Structure formats: C-alpha cells, structure tokens
C-alpha cells in the first residue's frame, strides 16, 4: 500500500524540514536553560538573603522601642539592601577586572564562602547573613537601624553579595541577566513581606519550624556552592 505525504518528495523539502526541526529544538533548549538558570538564581538568592530568617531577627530587634517604626524600617532596609545588591550585580564583574581577579578565582572563593554559610545554616541557627549578639544589643538602642544592621549585614550580607556576582558572571545573555535581576527583586519583595508579617510568621513557625527551614536551606545552598566551585575549577582548566 502506498502512503500519502503532505510534503512534496523533493530534496529541498527535506532540508527545510531538518532546518525547522533544528530551530525548534534550539528554541526549546534555550527555554529550558533560561528557566533552569532563573530557578537556580531564585533558590541561591532566597537562601542567602533568607527572608524567613530575616523576619525572625527583625521581629526580635523591633519588639521594643522600634516597634512603631516597623513599616518604615522594613521598607528602607529592603530598598537600601536592594540598591547595594543591584550595584554588586551590575558592577561586580567590572570591579573584579579592575582588581585583576579572574571570574574563575571568584567562583571558587565565592563558592567556598557560600559553602561556609551553608554549614552554618545546616548545623546551627544562624548563617553568615545574620548578626552577632553584640550587634543585636546595639540595634535595640535608640537610633536608626535601617542601614545597620538591617540592610547590612542582615539582608545584604557577604553571602548574598557574593551570590549576585557569581550568578551574573554565569549569565551568558541579557535575558539571563534580566532573569537574575528579576529573581533578586522577587526575593527582596518576599523579604519585605516577611518583615511586615514578622509576628505572624514567628507565631506560625515557632522555633522548630524556623530551625527546619534554615537546615533545609543550608543543604540546598551547599549543593549550589559546590557547583560554583566546580564551575570555577573547570573554567580555570587546572586539571587539563
């Protein structure tokens, strides 16, 4: 039995079909890479900024004399931290070039820093983006705490600053860079929302819930950190 075909039996038609299939496959692959990169950035930034951890600490710091100013403190802290993180995301690569530091070296160093934060999150209750006990006591005194310690180092800490530079260094297109900035904005919005509802969040999670969130975040961040180190070693071609 002879089979019918909608395409003419001509070499040009075959070439056109192969080219069309290749274009579709490339576009599908690009979408997958774009989506995967955005999700990776979201997880890394969410863990290093830590909206839940930030809200829990914010509730404790503003339970006294700063309680009437909670709304303005949260807004200004997130805006200041967002500006610092945005500057690092956009200018971090240029700063590394001026310092004659290769991106491969920074990936290894940044990955090691993130891995240390992951260990702290996994085996303790506080990561590198948190504040010390002395800083907690200072924050409970009268004065403006939006810049220190809320914006830095609570939100824009060493881990999140390293993360944005590493993620932007991994971006291979303007679309990928825009996705990372979008994920950063989403994390900052989530942080502001968590700070505004800090009392409800602390009451709902409790000590055990906050501890579980921190430990799970630590495991995820550890995997991301090791991948950054692998990327840096691969780019440096030390083992070739």
Mark out the alpha helices in the chain (DSSP H runs). 11-49, 51-61, 70-98, 103-123, 133-139, 158-170, 174-196, 198-236
Would the pLDDT of 24 be above 60? Answer: no
CB atoms < 10 A from the CB of 191, how many? 26
When pLDDT is averaged across residues 42-52 and rounded to a whole number, the result is 92
In this predicted model, what pLDDT tens digit does every residue of 158-202 receive, in sequence order? 899 999 999 999 888 899 899 999 999 999 999 999 999 998 988
What pLDDT sits at residue 57?
86
At 142, the pLDDT band (50, 70, 90 cuts) reads: low
pLDDT average, residue stretch 229-236:
90
* Torsion angle (degrees, nearest 10) of CA 176, 179, 181, 183: -140
Torsion sign, CA atoms 159, 161, 165, 170: positive
Which of 12-16, 105-109, 162-166 comes out lowest in average pLDDT? 12-16
Among residues of the chain, what percentage have pLDDT more than 70? 75
Q: Which of 201, 101, 82 is nearest to 147 (CA)?
A: 82
Does the pLDDT of residue 99 top 90, yes or no? yes
Model pLDDT, residue 210: 78
């Amino acid at each position: 039995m002879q089979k019918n075909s909608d395409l003419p039996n001509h070499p040009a038609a075959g070439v056109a079909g192969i080219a069309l299939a290749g274009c579709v496959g490339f576009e599908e692959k690009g979408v997958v890479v774009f989506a995967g990169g955005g999700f990776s950035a979201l997880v890394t930034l969410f863990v290093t900024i830590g909206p839940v951890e930030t809200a829990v600490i914010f509730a404790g710091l503003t339970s006294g004399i700063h309680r009437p100013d909670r709304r303005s403190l949260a807004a200004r802290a997130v805006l200041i931290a967002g500006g610092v993180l945005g500057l690092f995301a956009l200018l971090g690569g240029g700063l590394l070039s001026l310092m004659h530091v290769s991106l491969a070296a920074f990936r290894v160093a940044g990955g090691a820093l993130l891995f240390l934060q992951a260990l702290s999150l996994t085996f303790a209750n506080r990561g590198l983006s948190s504040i010390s006990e002395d800083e907690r006591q200072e924050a409970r005194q009268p004065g403006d705490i939006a810049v220190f310690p809320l914006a830095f180092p609570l939100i824009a800490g060493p881990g999140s600053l390293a993360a944005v530079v590493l993620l932007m260094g991994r971006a291979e297109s303007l679309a990928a860079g825009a996705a990372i900035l979008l994920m950063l904005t989403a994390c900052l919005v989530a942080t502001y929302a968590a700070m505004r509802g800090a009392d409800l969040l602390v009451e709902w999670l409790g000590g055990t819930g906050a501890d579980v969130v921190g430990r799970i975040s630590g495991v995820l961040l550890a995997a991301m950190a090791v991948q950054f180190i692998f990327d840096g070693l691969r780019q440096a071609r030390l083992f070739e």
